[in-house]
């Protein structure tokens, strides 16, 4: 999947409809997700994403992951997204990005990604739109 297709999918699946906002949301979610993953998982996941998104996901080295639950993760995404994003919108944005990821990478990588996240993240991989 190309970057423009990825961003369009984020918009279609409940993220911001404005392309620039959808791009910003995608980068925020990927950066915070990269902080949550352990070991080589950020690099493994990045290998299957569009080139322009890889560096955002792998910016955190994965050696000292942030060990948070889904609610804390959503609050962190809302905080990093800006003052106009409330927790409900953060949930929709995360769901749009994670659903797009799930549609654009291999099933094996989806399972590897989900295995590093608490069960509460599961519904966020299912598109609501």
pLDDT per position as a tens digit, 43-56: 999 999 999 999 99
- Judge whether 14 lies within some domain: yes
- Judge whether 34 lies within some domain: yes
Residue 78: which CATH number?
1.10.490.110
pLDDT of the residue at 65 = 65
pLDDT of the residue at 121 = 93
- Judge whether 96 lies within some domain: yes
Average pLDDT of span 59-84: 82
**In Å, what is the CA distance from 53 to each residue of 15, 31, 100, 106, 108?**
17, 9, 13, 17, 20
């Amino acid at each position: 999947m190309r970057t423009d297709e990825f961003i369009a999918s984020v918009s279609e699946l409940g993220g911001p409809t404005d392309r620039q906002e959808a791009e910003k949301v995608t980068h925020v979610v990927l950066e915070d997700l990269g902080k949550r993953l352990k070991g080589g998982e950020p690099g493994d996941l990045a290998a299957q994403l569009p080139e322009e998104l890889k560096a955002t996901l792998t910016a955190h080295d994965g050696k000292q992951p942030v060990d948070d639950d889904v609610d804390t993760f959503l609050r962190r995404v809302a905080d990093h997204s800006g003052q106009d994003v409330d927790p409900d919108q953060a949930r929709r944005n995360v769901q749009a990005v994670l659903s797009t990821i799930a549609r654009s990478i291999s099933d094996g990588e989806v399972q590897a990604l989900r295995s590093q996240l608490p069960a509460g993240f599961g519904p966020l991989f299912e598109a609501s739109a």
